Structure formats: structure tokens, C-alpha cells
Amino acid sequence: MNLSPPLEIQNLQARYSLSWNRKSVVALDCFNLELKAGEIFALLGPNGSGKTTLFKLILGFLKPKQGSIFIHGERAGTRGARSYLGYLPENPYFPKYLTGREILETYGGLSGLSPHQLRDRIEIILELTQMSSFAEKALHTYSKGMIQRVSLGQALIHDPQLLLFDEPMTGLDPQGVDGMREAMTKIRSLGKTILFTSHLLEQVETLADRVAILYQGKKLVEGAIETLLKEQKSATIQVTGLSSEQLAGVKAALTDFGATSVEMTPSSGSLEKLFRSYTK
């Protein structure tokens, strides 16, 4: 058994050159991260914060300016590292004339599975992704949700230990979102590790074990969602039966106690509120 962390990133820096003015943009700066086996980790941040760059670096499509990335002890970009990885892109594309089963056969073959191994893995994947009812149909008949299940299947076909999911729920209807969330939970129960990005903060809050917030290439905060939400420096006080004059008195008293801001509206701690507080 490989006891190395599923993903270990140390002092990572990535830059993009701007040829028109001979300058460069820092896409990631001094980024560190270590994932635990069997967890779901969410990477949050506005567009342009460095999430896509990080995925490309982990997959070996880009080389870092400095720092290192190890996947179960193998340096990113090597054949050994790729064998541990499964990737679900935000906008998957497959030949529309192939069936779902043929997609799995193709990607399984490219991953080096023998015909016997492939036959067994396909049946497991069809059940896990709930593809059995449409696996023999051509992809041009598929809905967005069905395409996403096929993409999930190709990411899982070679039984990887670390899964990278780029916006896995984007464009899905509520039923599709529920299906993806259920699949990700099942994958975690198999001991796999998932790193995913998402703008659907409500879904992240119910699914992820830990999160990190990226902004302009820097990691602002990282931790368990429950812990981070408890650490928000705000509280909700809900009262009934007070007049407007009495409420004004309550607000004045809180200000006297040192409160820098008092909003007399109902609110509650949430991942969205935390995200906005770091990226506003």
C-alpha cells in the first residue's frame, strides 16, 4: 500500500508571460496543499484565481516556475503520477457517434487495461454512474447529465486513487446535481480522494470535507468547513417583540461593547458568506 499523501504541493509558483509587454502574471504564488486519503476537498475562488492553472500543473500539462507536486509520491507529469489520476473536465467532449459503453472501452484501453480487466471495470462503472439504461445508445442522443455521467465513467475506468473534477455540477438540473453528489459520496466511500472546483457553494457546503479559497493566485484560507464557519467573526441575534426605539437601543449597546458593525437583519453563517468575506 502506498502511504504517501494522494496529493502534496510545496511552495508552488506559476507564471504566464505577456508577450506584448514582456511582463508576466503570477497565476499561483507560494501555494501549498496536502490532501488526505479518502476526503473530498473543494477548491474555491472567482474566475482567474488560479484554479484551472493548478489543475493543469497537477495533470502535468504545465510546468511550475518553482515548487513541486507529488501524487502518491510520484512527481506530477510522470507516467507513474498519471496512473493515479482521473480527470473530469468542465466541458467534456466525445465523438457523438460512439455509445457510452464504447467510450469506456476506448478510455480503458488507452489506460492499459486488458480485455478481461476492462470487461469487469465497465460493469462496475455502469452501476456506479447509473449508466446501464443508456450505455448502448449513441452520445448524440444524450442529455447534459448523461454526458456528465459518461465523463465521470472515463475518469474512473482505470481505478485511479485521486480524482480531479472541474466544475462537475455546472449546467446540471437538480436531479443531475443530486446524482453527481451521490456518485462523489460513493467514490469517497471506496477510499478515493477527490479534489474539485465549484461555484455552487451550497453544494460544496454539504459535500466537501475541507475547502481552500484562492484569490489572485494566493490561498487565503484552508480548513474543515465546520471549523471555518464557526470562526467567522460575526453572530446572529434574533429578537422579537421590541419596538424600533428598543432595537436602536440594542444596536447602540452593541456598539458600546466594541462592535464595529451591527446589522439588524436575520442572517446565518454559510460558506457563501465566508467566501464573500475573503474575496470582496
Query: How far is C-alpha 213 from the chain's CA centre?
Result: 11
pLDDT of residue 256: 73
- Residue spans of the domains in the chain: they are 7-232
Average pLDDT, the chain: 88
Q: Would you state the pLDDT for residue 23?
A: 75
Q: What is the pLDDT of residue 24?
A: 77
DSSP conformation letters of 144-192: HHHHHHHHHHHHHTT--SEEEEESTTTT--HHHHHHHHHHHHHHHHTT-
Res 2: pLDDT = 67
At 42-83, the pLDDT tens digits run 999 998 899 999 999 999 999 998 999 999 999 999 999 999
CA atoms within 13 A on the CB side of 89: 6
Its CATH class, for the domain covering 7-232, is alpha beta
Residue at grid coordinates 446501464: 132
Q: What pLDDT score does 264 carry?
A: 59
Residues 41 and 195: beta-carbon distance below 8 Å = yes
Q: pLDDT for 181-191, tens place per residue?
A: 999 999 999 99
Name the packing angle between helices 115-128 and 100-110 (round to 10°). 130
Distance between CA 50 and CA 24 in Å, rounded?
Answer: 14
Q: What is the pLDDT of residue 13?
A: 92
Q: What is the pLDDT of residues 128-180, one digit of tens each?
A: 999 999 999 999 999 999 999 999 999 999 999 999 999 999 888 888 889 99
At residue 263, the pLDDT reads 64
Query: Each residue of 84-116: pLDDT tens digit?
Result: 999 999 999 999 999 999 999 999 999 999 999
pLDDT value of residue 225: 85
What confidence score (pLDDT) does residue 86 get?
96
Task: Give the model's pLDDT for residue 261.
Answer: 65
- Taking only the tens place, the pLDDT of each residue in 189-201 is 999 999 999 988 8
pLDDT digits (tens, 9 = 90+) for 116-127: 999 999 999 999
Give residue 267's pLDDT. Answer: 45
Q: Give the integer Cα–Cα distance in Å for 91 and 44.
A: 18
pLDDT value of residue 266: 45
